[in-house]
A and B are shown apart, each in its own frame.
Chain A
Amino acid sequence: MLILHCPYCGVSAEETEFAPGGEAHIKRFGPGASDEEFRDYLFARENPKGVHFERWRHAYGCGKWFHAARCTVTLEVFGTYPAQTTEPPQAIRDAISAKRPGWSWREFE
């Protein structure tokens, strides 16, 4: 059972109060993109064994989307942050580095 913290309304609650929304920080491709770019945008996923960034929605709370940094092996949550960003904030990256030195995820580290 995961405990997640909603960065908007400040509630920490069990995962049943939230809805998972898949990989975060996906770059959108649209008209003019190559077939490969569009395929990757739609389907290719990091699916890492370890540090992962993903989207969650506080479905049975404030209803808002946010991001979480989480380990897919231990299910430890390193931190959550508002979704209005294209990359994880420094504080979150530092929190991960403290526990998983040398981690990397796509272009982030």
Chain B
Amino acid sequence: MTRYSAFAVAREALSYHTGWGRAWRAPEPKKRYDVIIVGAGGHGLATAYYLGRNFGITNVAILEKGWLGGGNTGRNTTIIRSNYLQDSSSAIFEKARSLYEGLSQDLNYNVMFSPRGCLMLAQTQHEVRGYQRTAHANALQGVETEWIGPERVKELVPIINIDGPRYPVLGALWQARAGTARHDAVAWGYARACSDMGMDIIQNCEVTGIRRDGGKVVGVSTTRGEIDCDKLGLVVAGHSGVLARMAGFRLPIESVALQALVSEPVKPCIDVVVMANTVHGYMSQSDKGELVIGGGTDAFNNYSQRGSFHHIEHTMAALIETFPIISRLKMLRQWGGIVDMTGDRSPILSKTPVENIFINCGWGTGGFKAIPGSGWAFAELMAKGQSPLAEEFSLDRFTEGRFIDESVAAGVAH
């Protein structure tokens, strides 16, 4: 693998940039691997990466039915923050956020992590109390956040309307170290590093069956033949229920559509991420100048990667009240992803009823920010059978009533 550097760019310029090699190989599947990961999204690729980097397990295949990073990882609005309420959530999200800080160096791939800061607006008294509580919880967890008043919000976001008639801005939960990253680059960077360790990323390879023997996994059937494995990791987000069914169990998960949209590009006008959970919308500006906008999910099961139009209308109405300056902007593109929602809005990183099948899912509307931490913890769980960061997120919590309730904490989760 060529190391990417300023020197390499200069050297390749001499041959008009025709000498760059492919970032990852496109191998044929082997008959057998120690570990198979299903799903080459951010979480699957990060899991494979940390299996190799932290545990020396490199006889690994990552199977992807489409193209790598083409699921929710390539469809999300890239908000990265770790100001969650519950200790177990903060632990894994803060681990992820801190890994993001060094990820470009670690992977030798520019993931464009931009710690520009994230504001979660409080627009009702209830939210004021909720976010003050979260700020206190974060202080105890060692996650740096701050409760700020409306004047400070206006300073940070000059284009915001803080005294709207219906939902004035009463303050915000501010995390200065939160931000965004380039979603594709996160998938590509991990993929390149995995391929470099000798792992096989096999695209256009859909898993169609899970072969078991005596309650234990032995391999998978795919559109590119049968492949055996010792351990199997299911990391397929919206398709988790489909894969669980192949393995003979059900999950506490519903798959629904979540949409996002971007405006035409404009000059820089907002350099932080703003989330307005009461009115249901959030916004940031990409390096290209587009305003990146998202809102809520549809409430019915959906695998179509399209959402209902009225959600976009609702989100835009809310954001135009919050940022009147955007009312004349044209929207360029809109798309949807299928997100995997659990009842407590927290993920599942767990063993399953089938021996040696592990599942990492339930990240729903907010798992991009978690990719490095989730991969770190899930790799440990798959390699050693347990992981402190993953422990609380086991499937047992639904039998024991031990929920990690973030739906109350976040209102909207991203």
Chain A residues with a Cβ under 8 A of chain B: 1-2, 15-16, 19-20, 22-23, 35-36, 39-40, 42-49, 52, 54, 70, 72-75
Asked if B241 and A45 sit within 8 Å, CB to CB, the answer is yes
Chain B residue, CB-CB nearest to A15: B308
Chain B residue, CB-CB nearest to A68: B300
Chain B residue, CB-CB nearest to A75: B304
Q: Is B3 an interface residue (CB 8 A)?
A: no
Asked if A54 and B250 sit within 8 Å, CB to CB, the answer is no
Asked if A46 and B303 sit within 8 Å, CB to CB, the answer is no
Interface string of B377-410 (1 = CB under 8 A from A): 0000000000000000000001110000000000
Q: Write the nearest CB–CB distance from B399 to chain A, whole angstroms.
A: 5
- Besides A15-B300, A70-B300, A72-B304, 20 new A-B residue pairs in contact (Cβ under 8 A), listed by A number: A1-B309, A15-B308, A15-B310, A16-B310, A22-B254, A23-B254, A42-B343, A44-B250, A44-B398, A45-B252, A46-B241, A47-B253, A47-B254, A48-B241, A49-B239, A49-B255, A54-B300, A72-B255, A73-B304, A75-B302
Q: What separation, in Å, do the CA atoms of A23 and B252 have in the docked complex?
A: 12
Q: Closest 8 CB pairs between A and B? A: A43-B252, A47-B241, A20-B300, A44-B250, A20-B299, A39-B399, A72-B301, A49-B303
Can you list 27 residue pairs at the A/B interface with Cβ under 8 Å?
A: A1-B309, A15-B310, A20-B298, A22-B254, A35-B399, A36-B399, A39-B399, A42-B343, A43-B252, A44-B251, A44-B252, A44-B398, A45-B250, A45-B251, A45-B252, A45-B253, A45-B254, A47-B250, A47-B251, A47-B253, A47-B301, A48-B242, A49-B239, A52-B301, A72-B302, A74-B304, A75-B304
Q: What separation, in Å, do the CA atoms of A73 and B301 have in the docked complex?
A: 9
Chain B residues with a Cβ under 8 A of chain A: 239, 241-242, 245, 250-255, 298-304, 308-310, 343, 398-400
* Most chain B CB inside 10 Å of its own CB: which residue of A2, A15, A43: A43
Main secondary structure of the interface of A (DSSP, over half): mixed
Chain B residue, CB-CB nearest to A16: B310
* Most chain A CB inside 10 Å of its own CB: which residue of B250, B303, B304: B303
Q: What separation, in Å, do the CA atoms of A70 and B193 have in the docked complex?
A: 42
Q: Write the nearest CB–CB distance from A13 to chain B, whole angstroms.
A: 13
